[in-house]
């Protein structure tokens, strides 16, 4: 997809949850969509590591959750985010609201309401930025089981009344799927992306090829091959930009199921030949997990992130603390507590 269109939409939507300090903790808002599975899986299966996994909230028993995040920057300034959500399985509805407070006291908010339909679901998201301007996004997803297709249509209305749209059709095949996406920005410019994924179960491989056509007709492409191994997998990705320059990323993941240890190493080679690397070690514990991540840039500078996740089955609370240390030694700390209640 054209970066111009993607960045333009993101900026106009005013979803900056923001602030320089608050950003690291709240950048992954999509995690909130899955937070309802955290406590349920942990409580029912006694496995807190499952708090990071799951499927859509509509499939879970009815209930609600609260999630509070506090981020403290190196200068002591704080940003917060409060999230509340609920879902009703029998009615097929769910909703989520969040409020982000920046270190300077300004706030932004979002509300999401969803309704299951006979063939998929409908969802409306409303987001209000710190300047009070509001944008909305209406999404409809339709599944055709007979033809093995899934269609997703979305229309975003910006604060100035202009609109942007996207259409994505996924076609399942015997050995994978194809996906064709078209996105049109508020200026009428259109970009497309065509993706093909092929699985070879016998060889243990998965190949993903994608071609993006930008509004000016230029193209970018990517090829990713994932190879299953006895202890995890390897993945090689090659991406070519519209100017023909190529970058690669090679990743290896090794799991030790007995010890509950997972190691992920990745090396990215830039078009100019310089490299960047990352190493992540995740260790399962009796009540959650720990994760240590080190990333080194092409200039040799390194940043680290130390994360601890803890599950309390009695209170159905998932607690997570992450400390990020930048190349200059300054720290940003994010503390998140999530509690879930289920209707009996």
Nearest alpha carbon to residue 165 among 191, 183, 190, 141: 183
pLDDT of 8 reads 36
Return all residues near 337 (Cβ < 8 A) that are at least 6 apart: 67, 68, 317, 318, 319, 320
Return all residues near 127 (Cβ < 8 A) that are at least 6 apart: 13, 14, 15, 108, 109, 110, 111, 134, 135, 136, 137
- If 0-12 CB within 10 Å is exposed, 13-18 middle and 19+ buried, where does residue 143 land? middle
pLDDT of 61 reads 79
- Mean pLDDT (whole number) for 282-292: 97
**What's this model's pTM, rounded to 2 decimal places?**
0.81
pLDDT of 202 reads 97
Residue 232, both tokens: 């995890």
Give the separation between CA 310 and CA 306, rounded to whole angstroms.
14
- If 0-12 CB within 10 Å is exposed, 13-18 middle and 19+ buried, where does residue 285 land? middle
Give the separation between CA 203 and CA 227, rounded to whole angstroms.
8
Residue 304, both tokens: 């680290």
Give 91-150 pLDDT, tens digit per residue.
999 999 999 999 999 999 999 999 999 999 999 999 999 999 999 999 999 999 999 999
Give the separation between CA 40 and CA 227, rounded to whole angstroms.
32
Give the separation between CA 322 and CA 24, rounded to whole angstroms.
10
* pLDDT confidence band for 172 (50 / 70 / 90): very high
């Amino acid at each position: 997809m054209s970066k111009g269109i993607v960045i333009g939409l993101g900026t106009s939507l005013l979803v900056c949850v923001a602030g320089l300090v608050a950003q690291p903790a709240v950048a992954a808002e999509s995690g909130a969509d899955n937070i309802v599975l955290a406590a349920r899986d942990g409580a029912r299966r006694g496995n807190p590591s499952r708090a990071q996994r799951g499927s859509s909230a509509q499939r879970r028993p009815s209930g609600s959750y609260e999630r509070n995040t506090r981020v403290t920057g190196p200068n002591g300034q704080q940003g917060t985010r409060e999230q509340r959500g609920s879902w009703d399985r029998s009615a097929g509805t769910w909703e989520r609201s969040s409020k982000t407070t920046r270190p300077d006291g300004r706030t932004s908010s979002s509300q999401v309401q969803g309704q299951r339909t006979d063939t998929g679901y409908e969802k409306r998201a409303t987001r209000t930025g710190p300047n009070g301007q509001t944008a909305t996004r209406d999404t409809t997803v339709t599944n055709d089981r007979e033809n093995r297709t899934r269609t997703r249509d979305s229309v975003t209305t910006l604060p100035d009344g202009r609109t942007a749209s996207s259409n994505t059709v996924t076609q399942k095949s015997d050995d994978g799927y194809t996906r064709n996406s078209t996105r049109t920005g508020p200026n009428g410019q259109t970009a497309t992306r065509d993706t093909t994924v092929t699985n070879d179960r016998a060889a243990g491989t998965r190949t993903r090829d994608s071609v993006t056509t930008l509004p000016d007709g230029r193209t970018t492409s990517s090829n990713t091959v994932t190879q299953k191994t006895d202890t995890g997998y390897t993945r090689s990705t090659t991406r070519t930009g519209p100017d023909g320059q190529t970058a690669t990323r090679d990743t290896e993941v090794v799991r030790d199921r007995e010890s509950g240890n997972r190691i992920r190493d990745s090396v990215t080679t830039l078009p100019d030949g310089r490299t960047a690397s990352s190493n992540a070690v995740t260790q399962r514990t009796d009540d959650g997990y720990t994760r240590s991540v080190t990333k080194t840039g092409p200039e040799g500078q390194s940043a680290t992130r130390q994360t601890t996740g803890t599950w309390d089955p009695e209170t159905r609370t998932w607690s997570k603390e992450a400390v990020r240390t930048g190349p200059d030694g300054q720290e940003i700390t994010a503390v998140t507590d999530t509690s879930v209640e289920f209707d009996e």
